[in-house]
Amino acid sequence: MRNFLKLKQILNILVPSLVRDKLRSGGENFYDEEGEVTIVFIDIHQFDNIVNSYNGNELLALLDQVYNAFDQFCD
């Protein structure tokens, strides 16, 4: 149950409230014109070990590199 609550908190940070509200109301197929956006859900292998190996700024820099790599791939 604790992991579920933590996951819910993380998703509340990452997913826009507009999307969360529509999902909670049972919406499945919806969209709103927001221009160009990128939403990436990534499962990074052994992420817990990575988190324990980096300080906060280093971890943010690593995640920024991962995001930018995916963003360039999408372009």
User: Within this chain, do residues 63 and 42 fall inside the same structural domain, yes or no?
Assistant: yes
Q: Check residue 7 and give its pLDDT.
A: 76
pTM: 0.47
User: Within this chain, do residues 69 and 46 fall inside the same structural domain, yes or no?
Assistant: yes
User: Within this chain, do residues 26 and 49 fall inside the same structural domain, yes or no?
Assistant: no
User: Within this chain, do residues 49 and 28 fall inside the same structural domain, yes or no?
Assistant: no
Q: What is the C-alpha separation between 75 and 73, in angstroms, rounded? A: 5
Q: Which two tokens stand for residue 39?
A: 């939403």
User: Within this chain, do residues 23 and 45 fall inside the same structural domain, yes or no?
Assistant: no
User: Within this chain, do residues 45 and 15 fall inside the same structural domain, yes or no?
Assistant: no
Note down the domain range covering 75.
38-75
Kindly give the confidence (pLDDT) of every residue in the chain, 75 residues in length, as a single tens digit, with 9 standing for 90 and above: 777 788 778 777 877 777 778 777 876 666 666 677 767 677 889 989 998 999 888 988 998 898 888 878 877
Query: Would you report the helix, strand and coil content of the chain in percent, each value rounded to 5?
Result: 65, 0, 35
CA-closest candidate to residue 67, choices 11, 31, 75:
75
